[in-house]
Amino acid sequence: MDLAIFLIQCLNSLQYGLLLFLVASGLTLIFGIMGVINLAHGSFYMIGAYMAYALAPVVGATFGGGFFATLFVGLVLSVVLGYVLEWAFYSYLYEREHLQQVLMTYGLILVFEELRSLTVGDDVHGVKAPEILAGTIALGDTMTYPVYRLFISGVCLLLALGMYIVFTRTRLGMMIRAGSTNREMVQSLGIDIQFLYRVVFAAGVAIAVLAGMVAAPVSSVYPNMGGQVLIICFVVVVIGGIGSIRGALLAALLIGFVDTFGKVLLPQAAGVLVYVLMALILLWKPDGLFKAG
Amino acid sequence: MQSDIRSKSVFVGLTFLALAAYPLVAGNFGVDLVTKIMVYAIFALSLELLVGGTGLVCFGHAAFFGIGAYATVLLSPQNDPGSALLLLPAAIVAAGVYALAVGSLSLRTKGVYFIMVTLAFAQMAYYVVHDTPLGGGTDGIYLNFKPVAGPLDLDGPLTLYFFTLAVLVAVFGFLALISRSRFGRALAGIRVNEQRMRATGFATYPYKLAAFTLSGSLAGLAGFLFAVKDGYVNPEMLSWHLSGSVLIMIILGGIGHLRGALIGAFAFALLQEFFKSEAIFGAFAKHWHLGLGLTIIASVALLPRGLVGVPGQLKERLVGRSSRRAETSEAQDDLA
């Protein structure tokens, strides 16, 4: 493997890992803070990808179009979606057993998939990358790398940084961290925990939707894409340690590299590598790499 | 309490009697459908031993089911019918050995981590079958001749129906006996409080491993029946979708009760058939997931204890209402 190919695979791994991190971070937050196992999280990724496809013409007709306008509209819609979903469904799950949560969120997956099928159909679609980012940059003499993939990594890194700052440096982040440790105590200090949860949930949904939207031009848009992502993201969450953002980031990058290089070096065993990795890590550290308090 | 146990056994007995009488009134489609549901019921029962009996949530149970099915097909002779008396134990052993290996490793973890490790091992089995020539790849393999069990030829739909029913009754009875045995009590103790079980001197790990292996073996038995019924196996039988579905079945039915697995398997499969039915929904039937999903969501909202808890909920409501009425009438008496 020469240097240019190696470099390209590294960039691909990075981009895939960071994308996984975006979806997994919402999953680990919702699980770690609210204690809800949200199987429908993959569906939000799917919804995002389909938004990128289906909203583009609508946004084009009303606001004059553009990839970034679509992104913005999708983001606003997803915050609303997350807020409403938390209010209508998830807020009833906090006191329930985990298996009841599994059952309800499984039901939600079925509903989301069918609503998608009813509104957009079951076809596979491609989404075009925006003009400004459609180019490539040269790597070495013969190789090129698409700018859009770098853009994805950039967006993911910015979001990760933003999340880190919100969590460690702001009052909101402090309240969220406190709420995950002791719900009743935070409530008795006069903080509206219900609202706090709703915000966290809406943010988790928005991040997953955003991940789906920026990934759409690279991965194309197809039915059941949520299921694939969901399982891999659970792997990320568990390897990283439930509730740990830092762990999720590290685990997502690890999975990104193992999966991408697995496909190049050991194509026969590519699918299984990620799971072997997870099994090994959990047998070594039964609570994941970074267990949150 | 005594009458409660009696009414439960009456319910289960009547269910099995109804299943035995069902072919008298059903056509080919019905017999085939109920055979399939009974196989799922056996599969669900095997998982219930782990989830409801021991408190271990396994999210990779389809692996054992699929390994049982693949073992059946791969060990069958190419050109004449195999013997079910050999293939059935072989399927059970194959699934059991994998369950022993998976269990011995994954039982080191707990809770959600356990769920995910069992998923990981199931995915490994899935990819082995999916990506290697061993299992015929994505296309799966056909079972050329269905096995015979002594004088019984399992190729006949009715023979297979009654054979499956007999296995279902046997598995149900076996698990009911286990739950009343010392072993079953120990598992229940582990479910409620593993720490305390250890403090009272039980080495809990071997108990959990035995339950895991047994559960996997029974799933392999269900896999054997499925392979014989369809005459065909493919990698999807090991997929996490199926592991999820069977988990949904027992949650829907009600965790912690053997009949919950039975009811859940029937309810889940019949709901699917209902929403898929073009006679009722016409062209909308192809969107059957929507109806199923909404029903599942409604069941979580309305039936927190699963379908098994419905009579109890009704009773509480009735009792609640009549006691409230008694109070009001007493209040009126006071006034008078």
User: How high is the pLDDT of residue A43?
Assistant: 93
Q: Is residue B268 part of a domain?
A: yes
**A138 contact B CB<8A:** no
pLDDT in tens, A35-53: 888 889 999 999 999 998 8
Q: Which domain holds residue B329?
A: 311-336
Which helix (H) or strand (E) is A224 found in, with range?
Answer: none
- How far from the centroid of its chain's Cα atoms is residue A27's Cα? 8
Residue B321 domain flag: yes
**Is B334 found in the same domain as B253?**
no
Contact state of A103 with B296 under an 8 Å Cβ cutoff:
yes
Same domain, residue pair B37 and B122: yes
What total number of domains does chain B contain?
Answer: 2
- Whether residue B129 lies inside any domain: the answer is yes
Q: What are the phi and psi torsion angles at B142 (to 5°)?
A: -95, 150
- Whichever domain contains B214, its CATH number is 1.10.3470
What is the per-residue pLDDT across B139-166, written as a single tens digit (0 to 9) for each? 888 888 888 887 888 888 899 999 999 9
Closest residue of chain A to B240, computed from CA coordinates: A231
Residue B4 within a domain: no
**B320, B195: one domain:** no
**Neighbouring C-beta atoms of residue B274, cutoff 10 Å:** 15
Residues from chain A that touch B296, judged by Cβ atoms under 8 A, are 103-104, 106-107, 110
- What does each of the 336 residues of chain B score in pLDDT, given as a tens digit? 456 777 788 888 999 999 999 998 888 889 999 999 999 999 999 999 999 999 999 989 999 999 999 999 999 888 888 888 899 999 999 999 999 999 998 898 888 888 888 988 898 898 888 887 777 777 888 888 888 887 888 888 899 999 999 999 999 999 999 999 999 999 999 999 999 999 998 899 999 999 999 999 999 999 999 999 998 899 989 988 899 899 999 999 999 899 999 999 999 999 988 988 878 777 777 888 888 889 888 888 888 888 888 888 888 888 876 665 555 555 444 444
Instruction: Cite the beta strand spans of A104-253 per DSSP E.
Output: 136-139, 143-146
Q: Report residue A226's pLDDT band, with 50, 70 and 90 as the boundaries.
A: confident
In this predicted structure, what is the pLDDT of residue B89?
Answer: 95
Residue B212 domain-assigned (yes or no): yes
Q: What mean pLDDT, rounded, does chain A reach?
A: 86
The C-alpha of B110 sits at a distance from chain A's nearest C-alpha, in angstroms, of: 8
Best of B296, B302, B303, B305 to disrupt the A interface (most A CBs within 10 Å) is B296
Is B2 inside a domain boundary? no
> Model ipTM?
0.82
Residue B1 forms part of a structural domain: no
In this complex, do A114 and B300 lie within 8 Å of one another by their Cβ atoms? no
Residues of B in contact with A227 (CB under 8 A): 241
Closest chain B CA to residue A40? B293
Q: Answer yes or no: do B270 and B329 share one domain.
A: no
Structure-block tokens of residue B214: 């047994």
Let me know whether B285 and B330 are in one domain: no
CB-based burial label for B31 (10 Å; 0-12, 13-18, 19+): middle
Q: Shortest Cα distance from B210 to chain A (angstroms)?
A: 20
**pTM, full prediction:** 0.85
pLDDT surpassing 60 at residue A265: yes
* Distance in angstroms between the alpha carbons of the first and the last residue of chain A: 42
Query: Are B172 and B30 in a shared domain?
Result: yes
Judge whether residue A252 has pLDDT over 90.
yes
Which positions in chain A touch B128 (Cβ < 8 Å)? 272
Residue pairs spanning A and B at CB distance below 8 A: 119
Least confident of A76-80, A115-119, B285-289: B285-289
Percent of chain A with pLDDT over 70: 98
A68 touches chain B (CB under 8 A): no
Is residue B120, in this structure, part of any structural domain at all? yes
pLDDT of residue B331: 47
B271 touches chain A (CB under 8 A): no
Q: What is the C-alpha separation between B188 and B54, in angstroms, rounded?
A: 6
Alpha-carbon distance of B211 to B240, in angstroms, equals 21
- For the record, the structure tokens of A30 come out as 């919702």
Contact B35/B161 with Cβ under 8 angstroms? yes
Residues B227 and B265 placed together within one structural domain of the fold: yes
Q: Is the pLDDT of residue A293 over 70?
A: no
Q: Give, rounded to a whole angstrom, the gap between the first and last alpha carbons of chain B.
A: 39
Comparing C-alpha atoms, which of A130, A127, A155 is closest to residue A66?
A130
How confident is the model over A127-177, as pLDDT tens digits? 888 877 878 887 767 778 888 889 999 999 999 899 889 988 999 888 888
Measuring CA to CA, how many Å separate B69 from each of B13, B152, B220, B236?
Answer: 29, 20, 7, 11
User: B286 and B324: one domain?
Assistant: no
Instruction: Give the per-residue pLDDT at B243.
Output: 92
Same domain, B96 and B15: yes
Q: What is the pLDDT of residue A144?
A: 81
Q: Are residues B63 and B94 in the same domain?
A: yes
Asked if B264 and B334 sit in the same domain, the reply is no
Instruction: Check if the beta carbon of residue B122 is closer than 8 Å to that of residue B103.
Output: no
Strand bridging mode B141-142 / A136-139: unpaired
Per-residue pLDDT at A267 exceeds 90 = no
Structure tokens at A44: 């939000």
> B293, A242: Cβ pair inside 8 Å?
no
Cα B5 to chain centroid distance, Å, stands at 22
Chain A: nearest CA to B295, how far in angstroms? 8
Chain B residue nearest residue A95, CA to CA: B304
Residues B186 and B317 in one domain: no
Residues 6+ apart with CB under 8 A from B324: none
